[in-house]
Structure 1
Amino acid sequence: MSLRVFWVIILLQCAAVQADIKGSAGAAREWRLANEQLIIDRFAGLLRIPNVAADTVNIRRNAKHIQEMLGEAGMQTQLLELDGANPAVYGERLVPGAQTTVLIYVHYDGQPVNPADWASNPWVPVMRTGMVEQAGEVVPMLAPFDPQWRIFARSAGDDKAPVVALQSALMALDEAGIAPTVNIKVFMEGEEEAGSPNLRAMLEKHRDVLAADLWLFCDGPAHQSRRWQLVYGVRGSYGFDLTVYGPNRPLHSGHYGNWAPNPIALLSDLIGTMRDTNGNVYVDGFYDQFRPLSEAELAAIARTPRMDEAMMRELGIARPETEDRLEIAISRPAMNLRGIYGGDVGASARNAIQPSASASIGLRLVPDLTPEHLRTVIEQHVRDQGFFVTGQDPTPEQRQQHGRIAKLSWSKSGGYPAYRASFDEPLAVRISDILMDLSGGTLIQTPTMGGSLPIYIVGEVLQVPVLILPVANHDNNQHGANENLRLQNLWDAIEIYAAVLTGL
C-alpha cells in the first residue's frame, strides 16, 4: 500500500467517525426536543427525594429510584453493599464486540440544607427564569422550556443531573437504532459529600465488577465561559480547626484587658504568620512537594478564555488575591479560612476576654503533595511561633505550664491527595477529539479543577485513568442555598454522552 493510499484511508475513517458522533448527537437532540417534558418530570422526581448522606432511609430510596431509571435505559443494575456504608448503584450495558469499557461515576448524595436560607423548599423543585439573586421569576414546570431557565433544588447541580442525562442519551440512541461502541458501566456513590469514607473499601470489594479502561467522573461545574470542558484533574483536600486559649473563664475586659491574654488577638496574629491576604502561605515546606504544570498543560490554559474580569464583575470584587489568572492560581496549593469564632459582634458583643478563639482552615492539595506532609509542616510552624501544640483540650496543668497553647483538630477522614491525568493518555486523546469536533473546536481542556473529588482512590485501587466531564453551570450555587441547573447544560450533557458512548 502506498503512503498516499494509507493517508486517504485514515482521512476517510476520521470522516466516518465525525459523521457518527454528530449523527448520535443529532439523534439525541431530536429525541430531547420531543421529550423535554418527560426529561424534566424525571429529573424533578429524582430531586424530590432528600439525599443527605446521613439520612440512610432516603439515601436508599434514592438508590432504588436510580436503579429503576437505569433499568428503563436498558442497563442491568444492582446495589453494591458494604457494611456500614450507603449503597452504591451499579449498572452495566455490555455491547457485543466492544473493545473498550467506560465507567461513568456520579454521586447521588447531596449537601445538608438549611431551608431558611432558600427562596423555596430545597426538596420541591422549582423552575425559574434565572438566578434568585437576579430576581428570576417562578414559572410553571411545563414545556416548552427556555434553555436559559433553571431548575432549583438540592443536588440539581451537584450531582443528580448526569443520572437523567445518561438515561436520556441511552433512550435516545435506542430509539434511533444507534448502538454504543463501548461497554458502559456506571458507579453512583451515596457518600461523596460526606467525604467518601467507604469508597476505598467499596472499590476493593467490588474490584472485578468495576473494572474498566477509563473512569469518567461526571461531577463539577462547566467552564465560566459556558463552553464545554474536559478536566484532567482535581485538587486534594484536607482541613483542621485551630483553637488557641486565654483565661479559663470569661473576664471583664476593663478589669483585665492589657493583662490577661486575649485569644482572639493570639489567633489573629498566628493566622497572619501562616497566610497573607494575597493567598501566599508562609509555612516552611508548604510548597516543597508539588508537581508543576507541564508545557502542554500551560499551553491548554493559554488557549482558555480568560474569565477573571467577568468573574470579578459577577462576584462584586475589585481585585482577586493574585495577579495570576484563575487557572494558574488553582494549580497551586492553597490555605483558606473557612470560618473564625471568638465572641459575639453587634448588639450581642460583650466587654469580655473570651476563654478561647477558633478558626476552621481548609487546605487544597495539588499532585505529589500529601496530607501527611502538610500536617507535619503546619504543626511545626505553630510550634515555631511559641505555641504548645496538642490534639486535645488542654488540661489545667498544661494551661499553667504553657503561655501559648494551640489545639489542632484535623479532619477525621485524613484528607486525600490530588489527581491529574496526562494529556497524552490514549483514551483522553480520543475523548478530547470527539468533544473538540462536536463543539466546533471550542472545547476547553483544563488540567486541574479547583474543587476536590476522591479520584486518587480510583487510580490507586483500580489502576485506571480518570477524566472529569462536568455538566453543571458554573453559577449553580453548588453546596449553597438556591442550588440550580441551567437547562441548556442538561440538554448539552445528553448530546455529549450520546457522542462519547458511540464515538470511542
Structure 2
Amino acid sequence: MKRCFLPLFLLISTISFAQSSLIEQARNFRKANEHALLGEFMGLLSIPNIVYDTVGIQRTAAYIVKMMENRGIKTQLLNGKTKSVPPAIFGEVIVPNATKTIVFYAHYDGQPVNPNQWAEGIEPFKSVFLDASLEKGGKIIPAPKLGEKINPDWRIYGRSASDDKAGVFSILSAYEILTKLGISPSVNIKFFFEGEEEAGSTHLSEILENHKEKLKSDLWIICDGPVHQSGRKQVVFGVRGDVNMEVKVYASKRPLHSGHYGNWAPNPAMLLAKLLSSMKDDNGRVLIKGFYDDVVPFTETEKKAIAKVPSVDEQMRNELGFIQAEGGGKSLVELINLPSLNINGFSSANVGKMAANVIPVSATAALDLRLVLGNDAQRQVQKVIEHIKTQGYYVTQNESITDEERLKYPLIARVQAQKGYNAQRTKMDLPIAQNVIKAVQSSTSEEVVLMPSLGGSLPLFLFEKYLATPTITVPIANHDNNQHAENENIRIQNIWNGIETYVALMKM
C-alpha cells in the first residue's frame, strides 16, 4: 500500500530520535504498570457522575482531586458567581525556563442514563471488561488479575468510559509517567476539568471570567471526542456550536376515540410530522430560509486539509447498516462542516403494547441545531420559528394554551429554545498549532488526520471570548464508543494511545 505523506505547507517533520525515545519510554512504563493504571481508572468509573446528580458529581470531583494530589499537583476548585453548580478542578505545574503555558481540558460530568436500556449484565456505574465490542459479539470477561496479560482490544463498558473520564485519566496519567521517568515537561501545565459540560456548560463563562488571571495561557488543548473513524489520531481545530429546541403542536383538549372522531378531529402527530418534513428536502438539505446564509467559508489551508481526510463513508454505512446517506452525494466530512437540523426525539401518545385507538392531544419534537462558524445560536433558532410561522402556525412560548387561543388559531405550536452556544475554529497555520501537529505526529507512525472542525459541539468559543486564547482538540476515544447513549465504552488501546499522545504534547 502506497504511503501518503503530509504536505510541506503543514511543516510536519519526521519523528525525531528524542521524541521517538520519549514515546518508547512512556510505552514501556505503561506496559509495566498497566494493572495499576486500569485499577485507578475503574475506580473513577465506579462513581456516578450524572451532571444533575450533585452528590455523585462531588464524589467524582473529590476522586480526581485525590488523583492530582497523588501526582504532586497543587489543586483548587474554581467557582463562578453561581456557587451551587459543579466547580472546575484546577491544577498547575510551573516548569523552570518554560516559555509557553498550555491548559489541558477535559470534563468529569456525564450524561443521564437509563439502566434498562443497557445490555444484560452491564450497569452504567459497575464497569465491566468485554473481549470485544457488543456489536462484534463481545462477551463479559473477568477483570484481569495482577500479572495477567491485558488485551488492548478489550473494551471497558460504563458511563463516561469514553466521554470524558478517559480524557481526565489520560491527561493525568501522561503527567504521572513523565514525572516517574524523571522527565520535565517543556511547557507550564495547567489542568482544567469541568463539571457541567453535559448540561451545556451553562456557568463556564462565569468561571472563566472570575479566574482570568489564573487561566492565562498560550493554548487550551481539549481532550474530548473520538479519533477519526479510520482509527488514526486526529487534531481538530474547531467545533460546531449547538442549540436545542422543543416544538409542541396542540389539537383537542382531551384524547379522542379514533373511530368516533378520526377524519374529523385534527391529529397533532400528523401535523407535527408534516411540519418537520417541511424543514428538509429528500436529500437532507434544510429548507428554512437563510439557514446557510451566514456560514464563514473555509480558508485554502482548511480546504486542503479536508481534501486529505480519509474517506470512511462506505465503512460507516456498512458498520451502521444503511445504504443511502443524506446529503445528496456530499461526503460525511463535508456535511459535518455545515449547519444541521436533527430530530432528537418525537413523542405523541403510546406505541407497542401500550398503544390505544386514540387521537392524541399533542405531539412534541426535540430539535438539535448544530452551528458552524458564522452562525449565531439565537439567530438560527429565530429562523426556525419564522419557518414554523410561514406554515400557518401561531407560535407561543407559554407552557399552557388558553381556550381563547384554541378557538382563534387553527394551528398552534409552543416553541421553547435553550441558550446554546456558537461554533469556534482556530487557524491551522498558527505556529503553536504546528507544534501541536508535530507532537501528535511524533506519537504515531500513521499520518495524523487534520480536521478544521469536529462534528460534535463544545463551548470552545468561550475561551476565545473571555480569555482571548485559541483551542485545539486532540481526542482519544474509539469512534464506536456509544458516548451519550447506552453501552458507552472505551477500547483499552485507545487509552494507551491517548496517554502517549498527551506525553508528547506535554513535551512539545
TM (norm. structure 2) is 0.93
Which of these residues, 136, 153, 157, is aligned with residue 158 of structure 2?
153
- What do the CA deviations read for 1:339-398 (whole angstroms, capped 9, x no partner)? 112222344333322221111111100001001211221111111111111111221101
How many angstroms apart in 1 are the aligned matches of 2:412 and 2:171?
Answer: 53
2:126 corresponds to: 124
How many angstroms apart in 1 are the aligned matches of 2:422 and 2:169?
Answer: 30
Secondary structure of residue in 1 paired with 2:457: coil
Which of these residues, 457, 461, 468, is aligned with residue 473 of structure 2?
468
Q: 1:113 to 1:331 in 2, by over 3 A?
A: same
Q: 1:357 to 1:171 in 2, by over 3 A?
A: closer
Give 1:277 deviation, angstroms: 4.0
How many angstroms apart in 2 are the aligned matches of 1:21 and 1:387?
Answer: 62
Residue type at the aligned position of 1:275: K
Which of these residues, 330, 333, 340, is aligned with residue 346 of structure 2?
340
Counterparts in 2 of 1:79-98, with a 5 A limit?
Answer: 79-82=77-80, 83-98=83-98
Secondary structure of residue in 1 paired with 2:296: coil
Secondary structure of residue in 2 paired with 1:235: strand
CA contact (8 A) 2:104 2:171 kept: no
RMSD value, Cα: 1.6
1:107 corresponds to: 107
How many angstroms apart in 2 are the aligned matches of 1:486 and 1:321?
Answer: 29
- What do the CA deviations read for 1:275-314 (whole angstroms, capped 9, x no partner)? 2342211111111111122222222122121001010111
Which of these residues, 438, 446, 449, is aligned with residue 451 of structure 2?
446
% identity of equivalent residues: 43
- What do the CA deviations read for 1:54-105 (whole angstroms, capped 9, x no partner)? 2112211111111111122232111113412112110111100000000000
CA contact (8 A) 1:263 1:355 kept: yes
2:297 corresponds to: 292
1:362 aligns with 2:368: yes
2:138 corresponds to: 136
1:19 corresponds to: 17
How many angstroms apart in 1 are the aligned matches of 2:89 and 2:416?
Answer: 34
Residue type at the aligned position of 1:407: R
Residue type at the aligned position of 2:334: I
Counterparts in 2 of 1:61-80, with a 5 A limit?
Answer: 61-80=59-78
How many angstroms apart in 2 are the aligned matches of 1:488 and 1:209?
Answer: 34
CA contact (8 A) 2:442 2:504 kept: no
How many angstroms apart in 2 are the aligned matches of 1:349 and 1:58?
Answer: 37
Structure 1: gaps of 5 or more residues: 1-10
Residue type at the aligned position of 1:376: Q
Secondary structure of residue in 1 paired with 2:456: coil
2:6 corresponds to: none
Residue type at the aligned position of 2:364: S
Secondary structure of residue in 2 paired with 1:451: strand
Secondary structure of residue in 2 paired with 1:24: helix
Secondary structure of residue in 2 paired with 1:158: coil
Secondary structure of residue in 2 paired with 1:215: strand
- What do the CA deviations read for 1:245-299 (whole angstroms, capped 9, x no partner)? 2121122223222222221221121112112342211111111111122222222
1:165 aligns with 2:170: yes
- What do the CA deviations read for 1:435-482 (whole angstroms, capped 9, x no partner)? 224323510001111111111111111000000010110011101111
- What do the CA deviations read for 1:168-187 (whole angstroms, capped 9, x no partner)? 22222223221110000010
CA contact (8 A) 2:336 2:455 kept: yes
1:267 aligns with 2:269: no
Give 1:152 deviation, angstroms: 1.1
1:8 corresponds to: none
Q: 1:56 to 1:271 in 2, by over 3 A?
A: same
CA contact (8 A) 1:227 1:444 kept: yes
How many angstroms apart in 2 are the aligned matches of 1:244 and 1:169?
Answer: 51
1:491 aligns with 2:489: no
Residue type at the aligned position of 1:98: A
CA contact (8 A) 1:234 1:449 kept: yes
How many angstroms apart in 1 are the aligned matches of 2:442 and 2:174?
Answer: 18
CA contact (8 A) 1:31 1:172 kept: yes
Which of these residues, 405, 418, 422, is aligned with residue 398 of structure 1?
405
Structure 2: gaps of 5 or more residues: 1-10
From the two aligned structures, give the one with the greater helix fraction. Answer: 1
Which of these residues, 483, 487, 498, is aligned with residue 482 of structure 1?
487
How many angstroms apart in 1 are the aligned matches of 2:368 and 2:172?
Answer: 36
